[in-house]
Amino acid sequence: MKSTVRRLEQLMYKTDLVPLDGRKKAWIYHHGILPTISWDFMMTDFNETTINTMERCVNKYLKKWLNITKSADPSILYRGAFGLSITSIRNACLTARTNTEITLCTSKDPIVRLTAKRRREKDHNASSHNTPKRLKRAVNDLVFQSQFCQSTRTPGDRRGIGARGTANRVRINKRSIIKRVKEMSDEEKIAKILSLASQSQWTNWDEVIHTDWKWNEMLYGLSSRMLSFWLNSVQNTLPDPVNLRRWGKQKTAQCPLCKWKNCTLQHILCSCKVALEQGRISWRHDSLLTIIVKHLKESKVKHDRDAHSCNSDSNLIQFVKKGVKPKRRKKPHTCFWGQANDWKILMDTRQKQYHIPPEIASSNLRPDICIHSTKAKKVCFIELTSPAEENITSWRIKKTEKYLGLLEEARGNGFKAYCRTIEVGARGFVSKPSLNVFSLFGFNEREKVNITKNLSKTAIRCSHFIWINRESSSWSHPNRLID
Ligand SMILES: [Zn+2]
């Protein structure tokens, strides 16, 4: 055990000395150093103290490489939701040990099985975290799930969520057991972070889509400064005035712009009066809006092209040879755009405003996007908000209520009217209901993932720029960021 710890420390130290970007060093840890020592994990049952020592060493270097505040909870590096999902030493050890244990228990050799059983019984009184006990708990959980949490639908029944309800039956095999063991360790981590009030706010963000960072995007999608900004912003560990006061580095927590006395990250990114007046927040909002409108226009063009090819096909008579089954015809698209060709997409930005056409409604309200067609007698209002993640739900309700009267009026004038909201948080998290808007306009799954990533990346870039300019009183009115 000692030699493994020493080897790990040496490898981490050597990696630290290499003149590389910190993110690449983290990559080396994940893909180079961990596999090197995982054989030791399989062979030896490491005790808690040794695992803790190794974790401390790895945490120290990873935090340094990714520029995370020292006091931050390290779980952000390892968790899948709202984190980077790098494999931790603990998880690597757990996986390896569980693997060994399963291999021994299911061995074809009776002597090996018996030895494993004896060892399990001997370890019975050891700490509650040892591998056989964990394994037993994981298997029990899975047995319980397979008996009680199964779908009650018969194969022919297609009601409810997902057409293939009976296919996702809980299976008990090596893979599912290892997965469950990992989940249990994650649950322990979340239980631990809940005791840190200011760092655990993300646990309340139920409505947002989890960003799933791949190594590729981590290394090349964002700059290292932006990644570090994002990581620290999720756990509220950026050096904003309130945190600086908490860490004892300054006495007051005044906002440098508006002199508000409790200046948090949320205040800087979303609610500072001066920033609002100068148009810093609306710059982020308008950048996001431009991206959405760009994607909507693309979807319109694609729809027109598809509809055209569909129409030209349907005019031809398709003869079918004797004995050959006829091909199924493509169903025509039934998304929002329909058959009309006079669609107009209006956008409301800080620089340029529009008016709702009087035939739809006579109102001075202007939702961020208005898409309408006089031929189809259809109109859709889309409102975009870019609040702090904590306030996404309340903003959605507020914005929906705001346009109820407008909807009624448009419907009274014979239009089929919709109102939808999109929320992109200041830290780059897109709310789940926003996806319905994209579905309405006929985006497929891949396009939806694409636009979500695009929006969250732009939100992070804009927020980062607002953050680094938090102390300068002038604002240069940069161009909108369009990816
Ligand atoms: Zn302020």
SS3 sequence of the chain: CHHHHHHHHHHHHHHHHCCCCHHHHHHHHHHHHHHHHHHHHHHCCCCHHHHHHHHHHHHHHHHHHHCCCCCCCCHHHHCCCCCCCCCCHHHHHHHHHHHHHHHHHCCCCHHHHHHHHHHHHHHHHCCCCCHHHHHHHHHHHHHHHHHHCCCCCCCCCCCCCCCCHHHCCCCCCHHHHHHHHHHHHHHHHHHHHCCCCHHHHHHHCCCECCCCCCHHHHHHCCCHHHHHHHHHHHCCCCCCHHHHHHCCCCCCCCCCCCCCCCCCHHHHHHHCHHHHHHCHHHHHHHHHHHHHHHHHHHHHHHHHHHHHHHHHHHHCCCCCCCCCCCCCCCCCCCCCCCCCCCCEEEECCCCCCCCCCCCCCCCCCCCCEEEEECCCCEEEEEEEECCCHHHHHHHHHHHHHHCHHHHHHHHHCCCEEEEEEEEECCCCCEECCHHHHHHHCCCCHHHHHHHHHHHHHHHHHHHHHHHHCCCCCCCCCCCCCCC
CA 232 – ligand 1 centroid, Å: 20
Contact between 76 and 234 (Cβ < 8 Å): yes
Residues of the chain with pLDDT under 70: 123-130, 149-170, 310-316, 329-334, 483
Contact between 22 and 224 (Cβ < 8 Å): yes
Q: Sign of torsion, CA 461 222 388 73?
A: negative
CA 196 – ligand 1 centroid, Å: 26
CA 198 – ligand 1 centroid, Å: 20
CA 268 – ligand 1 centroid, Å: 6
CA 415 – ligand 1 centroid, Å: 43
CA 281 – ligand 1 centroid, Å: 12
Question: Which are the contacts of 30, defined by CB distance < 8 A and separation ≥ 6?
Answer: 86, 87, 215
CA 427 – ligand 1 centroid, Å: 18
CA distance 107 to 105: 6
CA distance 100 to 115: 13
CA 468 – ligand 1 centroid, Å: 14
- Residue 156 corresponds to which amino acid? G
CA 258 – ligand 1 centroid, Å: 4
CA 255 – ligand 1 centroid, Å: 5
CA 211 – ligand 1 centroid, Å: 29
CA 403 – ligand 1 centroid, Å: 29
CA 195 – ligand 1 centroid, Å: 29
CA 202 – ligand 1 centroid, Å: 23
CA 228 – ligand 1 centroid, Å: 23
CA 262 – ligand 1 centroid, Å: 9
* Bridge partners (DSSP) listed for residue 419: 381
CA 467 – ligand 1 centroid, Å: 12
CA distance 423 to 384: 6
Token reading at 276: 């609002």
Contact between 153 and 166 (Cβ < 8 Å): yes
* Bridge partners (DSSP) listed for residue 382: 369, 420
Candidates 53, 140, 124, 134; CA nearest to 100 is 134
CA 256 – ligand 1 centroid, Å: 7
CA 230 – ligand 1 centroid, Å: 21
CA 388 – ligand 1 centroid, Å: 15
CA 473 – ligand 1 centroid, Å: 10
The pLDDT of residue 16 is 94
What does each C-alpha distance from 172 to 145, 183, 198 come to in angstroms?
A: 10, 15, 38
CA distance 363 to 367: 11
* Bridge partners (DSSP) listed for residue 384: 422
CA 270 – ligand 1 centroid, Å: 9
CA 346 – ligand 1 centroid, Å: 32
CA 100 – ligand 1 centroid, Å: 56
Q: Which H, E and C letters describe 20-74, residue by residue? A: CCHHHHHHHHHHHHHHHHHHHHHHCCCCHHHHHHHHHHHHHHHHHHHCCCCCCCC
CA 272 – ligand 1 centroid, Å: 4
